[in-house]
Chains A and B, each alone.
Chain A
Amino acid sequence: MTTSTHETEIVADARVPLVRITRTFDAPPAKVFRAHTDPDLLVQWLGPRDTEMQINYFDCRTGGSYRYLHSRCDGMEAAFRGCFHEVRPSELIVQTFTYEGFPDGVALERVVFEDLGDGRTLLTSTSLVDTFEDRDAFLASGMEVGVREGYERLDEVLAG
C-alpha cells in the first residue's frame, strides 16, 4: 500500500481562457469516477473547507443536471448548477457550470479519467470560461481561501 502523495498541477492556457488541473490518484478509474458521480461521496470532498455542501439534485448521466449549495458557518451561501452533456462511466464527464450569483456566466468543464494501470488514475480537469479576465478571477478565487487555510494549518501544527 503506497502512502505517497501526488501533487496537483495547474496550467493556465495562453490561447483560450482555460485552466487545466492534473492529479494522480491511488485508485482505479471506476472508484475515482464514483466519487464524482455519487452525491453521498461528493459532499465529503468537493466543497471548500469550512463550508457545508448541500446537493439539491445530482443526476450524473448524459443529459442529466445538478444543483448544489455551499454554505459557510457565517451564513454565506453560494449555489451552483449545470447540465451533464456527456457522461461515459470511468472515462469522461463533460458538464456546464454556473454560479447562480452570476447566471450569465457559464464554464464548460471536462474531466478525463485515464487508467494508469497499477490501480492508479490520472485525472485531468479543464475549465473553459468566456474571457481571460474570468479565468484569472477564477484562479484568484483560490487566493483568499488558500491563505486562510494555510494559516489554519500552521495554527494546527503550532498547537500540536
Chain B
Amino acid sequence: MAADPLSRAFSALSDPIRRDMVARLAVGDATVNDLAAPYDVTLQAISKHLKVLEDAGVVSRRRDAQRRPVHLEAEVFDLMTAWIERYRRQVEERYRRLDDVLRALPDDVEPIPPRREGVQP
C-alpha cells in the first residue's frame, strides 16, 4: 500500500516550504508563529503544512503545553535521510566515472556516434 510510513514521509518532504520548516526544526523545537515568520503566507497555510508533516510522522506537537511547540521526529527523519543519501552516493559514484569519461573526450566530439551495422536486434 502506498501509505507506508516512509512513503508518506518522503511525500511530505517534497514541498520546498515543508523541507525548509524541517531544516529549521532540526536546530530546535519551534512554535507555529516562529515557523511562519520567514514566509509571506498565512498562519493557516503554515498549519496546513504542519498537518502534512504531522500526519507523515515527521514532526509531533505536544498536546499539553500552552505553546504547543513543534518537534522534529529525528528517527523518521534520519531513516529517510540515510535512505536517500545512500542512493545519492551510488549515483554520485557513477557520475564521477562519467566525469572521467568526459575529461578523456575530445572537445569537438559529435553528440551521437556514427551509425554501426548490426546495432538493431
- Partner of B112 from the list A23, A61, A131 (CB cut-off 8 Å) is A61
Asked whether any CB of chain A lies closer than 8 Å to the CB of B33, the reply is: no
Dominant secondary structure at the A interface = mixed
What residue in chain A is nearest B90 (Cβ atoms)?
Answer: A142
A44-B101 in contact (CB<8A): yes
Write out, one digit per residue, whether chain A residues 1-39 have a CB within 8 A of any chain B CB (1) or not (0).
000010111111111000001010111111111110111
What residue in chain B is nearest A23 (Cβ atoms)?
Answer: B95
When distances are taken between beta carbons in the complex, the residues of chain A under 8 Å from B88 are: 8-10, 142
Q: Which bucket holds chain B's interface residue count?
A: 35 or more
B118 to chain A, nearest CB (A): 8
Q: Which bucket holds chain A's interface residue count?
A: 35 or more
Interface-forming stretch among A72-80, A95-103, A133-141? A133-141
Asked whether any CB of chain B lies closer than 8 Å to the CB of A68, the reply is: no
A32-B102 in contact (CB<8A): yes
Known A29-B111, A89-B111, A90-B111: A142·B97 in contact at CB below 8 Å: no
A34-B105 in contact (CB<8A): yes
When distances are taken between beta carbons in the complex, the residues of chain A under 8 Å from B120 are: 57, 59, 64-65
- Partner of B101 from the list A11, A14, A45, A146 (CB cut-off 8 Å) is A45
- Which residues of chain B (1-53) have a CB below 8 Å from chain A? 1-2, 4, 6-7, 10-15
Asked whether any CB of chain A lies closer than 8 Å to the CB of B55, the reply is: no
Asked whether any CB of chain A lies closer than 8 Å to the CB of B107, the reply is: yes
Which residues does B use to contact A, with CB under 8 Å? 1-2, 4, 6-7, 10-15, 83-103, 105, 107, 109-113, 118-121
